[in-house]
Structure 1
Amino acid sequence: MSEGSAAKVNMAFIVAIVAVATIGGFMFGYDSGVINGTQKGLESAFDLGSLGIGVNVGAILVGSSIGAFGAGRMADIIGRRGVMMLSAILFLASALLAGAAGSSAVFIIARIVGGLGVGAASVISPVYISEVTPAAIRGRLSSIQQVMIISGLTGAFVANFVLARYAGGSTAELWMDFPAWRWMFWLQAIPAAIYFLALLIIPESPRYLVARGLDDRAHAVLTRLFGEAEATRKVAEIRASLAADHHRPTLSDLIDKTSGKVRPIVWTGIGLAVFQQLVGINVVFYYGATLWEAVGFSEDYALQTNILSGVLSIGACLATIAMVDRIGRKPLLLIGSAGMAVTLATVAYAFSTAITGADGAVSLPGNNGVLALVAANLYVIFFNMSWGPIMWVMLGEMFPNQIRGSGLAVAGFAQWIANALVSVSFPSLVVWPGLAVAYVGYAFFALISFFFVRAMVNETKGRELEDMVG
């Protein structure tokens, strides 16, 4: 964007539509985090063992991987806003069905439905935000997505804690003789409905509109965003960036026509998506209560620890918003990788000292419980000041216009598959080989991610979307 047009930027309108788009991030976070405090209820209601818990918790990830893959392509057909509206409907249906589930099979179906919404929202919200914001502040505004994801997670943790405390436990009866854990799911219907209604008032992405040949509508949207002169220039730029390919975007665009190989930028996107999960962050988000109870914390204190992690995560994301457009994406990723490797190794050490008493209770000797808690929360801070928001920022902006939807589809699918592998395997890893070994593995992937970023990731700070190549 030229300096002369900067004064024409309608920041109030941009912030408003970003706020609406990132409600999808809140729903993503809430739907992912609500399971954290419901596992005792699921165990008692459906008579589940560790494998059953893993399957019920991981069901959302099946839907998420499908939703992420399908959303990237669907966004090129029905639009970015259309996919987000579909996600809102899926969130609402999942919340109502999961809370009412009378069997594990029904609950799994409900969570898969919710996962479709989570997967779609996870990839489309960052794309939409990147396509309606100025390059100079795109990183800051795109990072709000992660703030909202963590806010959703924290909101779920707070709701779980309050409902469990009020009822006397997650399995105790609450309103209308239903146990508290069911109400933890039903509460999600409120923000899901708000999300759908709010989406009715925001415009479609101008880049999608140009790709569909709707230049006049795109010009109208860009005029509201940046002013008349800038709108005319941007429509011409977008049209020119698409001119080299006269067909509608397809998955085959991810293959370099000259070499016949997958484009390097696609492998970079997949690597970013996968490493974000292999560092084990969703073990904290999905199993936080179970994790801390496994080393001797009470249910009440474990739920409070979840809330602390959520608050620290939001603070870390806010720090990223202040830094991302100043120091860039790549430096933050490198700092995050190094910090996570050290803190995860520290957590692994603390867990390796766990002892089991005569009554079967597990505890960490000396000050190792405090060490584990501090290191785990530092890990959460490092993740949420780097890989948490920056991965989504980069996936939303790093792909050229022609392959943005398809690139997001593949990277998003890979991200959720990696999420599923980590999350579903965790309950079994707790049993064997144990928490310490599991965290050594997460620390190893954090270390490898440092070298991946150094070798494969190019800085995107300040670059227009039309200038992206790969």
Structure 2
Amino acid sequence: MSTSHAGENTRLIILISCVATIGGFLFGFDSGVINGTVDGLQHAFGSSKAGLGFEVASMLLGCAIGAFFAGRLADRWGRRSVLIISAVLFLVSAIGAGAANSSLVFIIARVFGGFAVGAASVMSPAYIAEVAPARYRGRLATMQQIAIISGLFAAFLSNYLLARAAGASTEALWLGLPAWRWMFWMQAFPSLVFLVLLLAIPESPRYLVVKRRGEEALAVLTRLFGATQARTTLAEIEGSLSDEQHRPRLSDLVDKQTRKVRKIVWVGIGLATFQQLVGINVVFYYGAVLWQAVGFSENDALLINVLSGALSIGACIVALLLIDRIGRKPLLWIGSVGMAISLALVTWAFASGSLVDGHLQLSDNMGMLALVAANAYVVFFNVSWGPVMWVMLGEMFPNQIRGSGLAVAGAVQWTANFAVTVSFPILLAGIGLAATYSIYLVAAVISVFFVLRYVHETKGRALEQMEG
């Protein structure tokens, strides 16, 4: 594409990208808030281990459905429209989960939240990729992961402060209601902000071109890049679609000549799957349970979550600085190697412990090793697979199949997330922490070879240059 930057409204591009990333913030908050409410859920609903695992993971069922249909609906209604729907669902879920009087009501509310998270997880990076110039698209899309981790950090900090104010997550706070309910209600405020700000941003110009609304697309492109570059970009977008001018559909994912699913789709599915099989969301969803299992108090466990969240934000900032310089692929394989090493150390530390009254007890040295290695693992994830997978899914598919490709990859990502999350308490009770973490270690090792063999670099390439 043309490299002329004259007339580009960089401030507007960054501003509307930041609005889109609020979806990532809510994605992170909704994912992290459950971490501090596990004791409250058990106390309120008397859940079994399996029941608790389903309550925690119930949101993820909605995420898989939301991610799949968001990609399809975004091809019909637009990227911004789907984000607006997700903002409404975030608000409904926050209020409903906090007010739930039974496990069933809670699960329904969390599934609605899952619809929102799934939609935001694929649409926010897709929207950013479709409005940002190639030369700094990766940095803007990486802001999505910073927003996700900031949301996680905000949820961890909110949980910690509310539990500390009440004395415990199960103790009464304001209006005589337990702190764990207020943990969910805190999410209502950013949900409202997201909804209001979405009304002020434009629709994706690439979506408008696909829908043959060329004049509207040109108006948006002119606001973003200036009149001269807008016409050039519009012509390039139209050219990328000229040989397949029909409404995007799932069948586009199949190569018409070979009648097989396109290789780029399998790469997207692989990226989505490995991001979850390394076990990162066990740390995010069960961090408090994990650290209490090795001897930390609830208060200390929640504080460790805050530390992990802060380190994650720092790691994402490093990724933001590097992703458009060294590229996506190097960050992925470096992250995979780092996660494999740190997971090996965590597994070793957990394997050295002994069970006392059903709880794993570690020596001081091994406890410190587990803590440091686990946080190193979080850092490696958030400097690599955390942001890079979402960046690549948002930009790697050609225009014609972007919505459908995101639908499939997003649904697979959340399905894998669900499987890992719902299985953790069962594995913890059945085979122990060390054996459970060894499963995530194996996945991290395999991901190194997957990246080196199948992933291709997208740094600096215009979306119209992506091949399927």
Partner of 2:429: 431
Unpaired stretches in structure 1, ≥5 consecutive residues:
none
Partner of 1:26: 25
Give secondary structure in 1 for the equivalent of 2:467. coil
Whole-Å Cα distance in 2 between the matches of residues 271 and 204 of structure 1? Answer: 30
Range moving further from structure 2, 368-377 or 237-246: 237-246
Whole-Å Cα distance in 2 between the matches of residues 429 and 354 of structure 1? Answer: 17
Give secondary structure in 1 for the equivalent of 2:459. coil
Deviation at 1:260, TM superposition (A): 0.3
Contact 1:355 1:365 in 2 (8 A): no
Partner of 2:330: 331
Partner of 2:217: 218
Give secondary structure in 1 for the equivalent of 2:162. helix
Deviation at 1:447, TM superposition (A): 0.5
Give secondary structure in 2 for the equivalent of 1:2. coil
Contact 1:219 1:235 in 2 (8 A): yes
Deviation at 1:8, TM superposition (A): 2.0
The number of equivalent residue pairs is 468
Whole-Å Cα distance in 2 between the matches of residues 119 and 458 of structure 1? Answer: 25
Note the 1:98-137 alignment, pairs <5 A. Answer: 98-137=97-136
CA shift digits 1:218-264 (9 cap, x unpaired) = 11111111110110011111111111112110000000000000000
Deviation at 1:356, TM superposition (A): 2.8
Partner of 1:375: 373
Partner of 1:405: 403
Whole-Å Cα distance in 1 between the matches of residues 131 and 111 of structure 2? Answer: 30
Partner of 1:421: 419
Partner of 2:447: 449
Whole-Å Cα distance in 1 between the matches of residues 203 and 173 of structure 2? Answer: 42
CA shift digits 1:332-374 (9 cap, x unpaired) = 00100000011001101101112233x5553211400000000
Amino acid aligned to 1:146: Q
Amino acid aligned to 1:446: A
CA shift digits 1:255-286 (9 cap, x unpaired) = 00000000000000000000000000000000
Whole-Å Cα distance in 2 between the matches of residues 47 and 363 of structure 1? Answer: 26
Note the 1:229-248 alignment, pairs <5 A. Answer: 229-248=228-247
Query: Normalising to structure 2: TM-score of the pair?
Result: 0.99
Partner of 1:313: 312
Partner of 2:207: 208
Taking only the aligned residue pairs, the percentage that are identical comes to 62
Whole-Å Cα distance in 2 between the matches of residues 123 and 362 of structure 1? Answer: 38
Amino acid aligned to 1:183: W
Note the 1:134-173 alignment, pairs <5 A. Answer: 134-173=133-172
Amino acid aligned to 1:327: I
Partner of 1:393: 391
* 1:78 pairs with 2:77: yes
Contact 2:2 2:232 in 1 (8 A): no
Give secondary structure in 2 for the equivalent of 1:145. helix
Contact 1:253 1:403 in 2 (8 A): yes
Partner of 1:462: 460
Give secondary structure in 2 for the equivalent of 1:362. strand
Give secondary structure in 1 for the equivalent of 2:181. helix
Distance change >3 Å, CA 218–CA 50, structure 1 → 2: same
CA shift digits 1:77-98 (9 cap, x unpaired) = 0100000000000000000010
CA shift digits 1:354-403 (9 cap, x unpaired) = 2233x555321140000000000000000000000000000000000000
CA shift digits 1:34-90 (9 cap, x unpaired) = 000001000010001211110100100000000000000000001000000000000
Note the 1:233-312 alignment, pairs <5 A. Answer: 233-312=232-311
Partner of 2:2: 2
CA shift digits 1:280-334 (9 cap, x unpaired) = 0000000000000000000000000000000000000000110000000000001
Contact 1:94 1:114 in 2 (8 A): yes
